[in-house]
Amino acid sequence: MTQQNAPKNRPRPFPRLNHYTDTQPFWDATKEHRLLIQYCRETGRPQWFPRSASLATGRRDLEWREVSGRGTVYSFTIARKPWPGHEDRVPYICALVELEEGVRMLANLVRVEPGDVRIGAPVRVAWETLSDGDSTVEYPVFEPV
């Protein structure tokens, strides 16, 4: 591929904060490198990804609680063809991480070579700073323990 036809690097996609539900407590905590997930107040069950109602009861009686950020790799894939804004990151690892609290989060796995990733490997939350030019956000990723 000639330089003229090479794909252009675009800015990394910026999360749409509070796009579908009130996730402000989550994003506020990320500024302090704290990971929060929702819990049903009635049953005490955790849930991820954020929703406006409890998966257990269907009620809107939810609270945000800080979690350990520790877990294991449940599954993963290695992206070799990038999404727009990720051209300079390939190959990168997208992992389904099972947190100690019992929920699974889809996130990038960093600071590990693709050939070294294993299902069941222990990981912990880490943080990437993303910017859209006007603002920044601390974004959760995971790294090997």
pLDDT in tens, 5-51: 444 556 677 777 766 678 999 999 999 999 999 999 999 999 999 99
* pTM exceeds 0.75 for this model: yes
Q: Where are the domains of the chain?
A: 18-67, 68-145
3-state secondary structure of 77: strand
pLDDT in tens, 61-73: 999 999 999 999 9
CATH of domain 68-145: 2.40.50
Q: Tokens 């979690």 belong to which residue?
A: 67
3-state secondary structure of 117: coil
Split at pLDDT 50, 70, 90, the class of 85 is confident
Give the residue ranges of DSSP H helices in 1-145.
24-30
Are the beta carbons of 81 and 90 closer than 8 angstroms?
yes
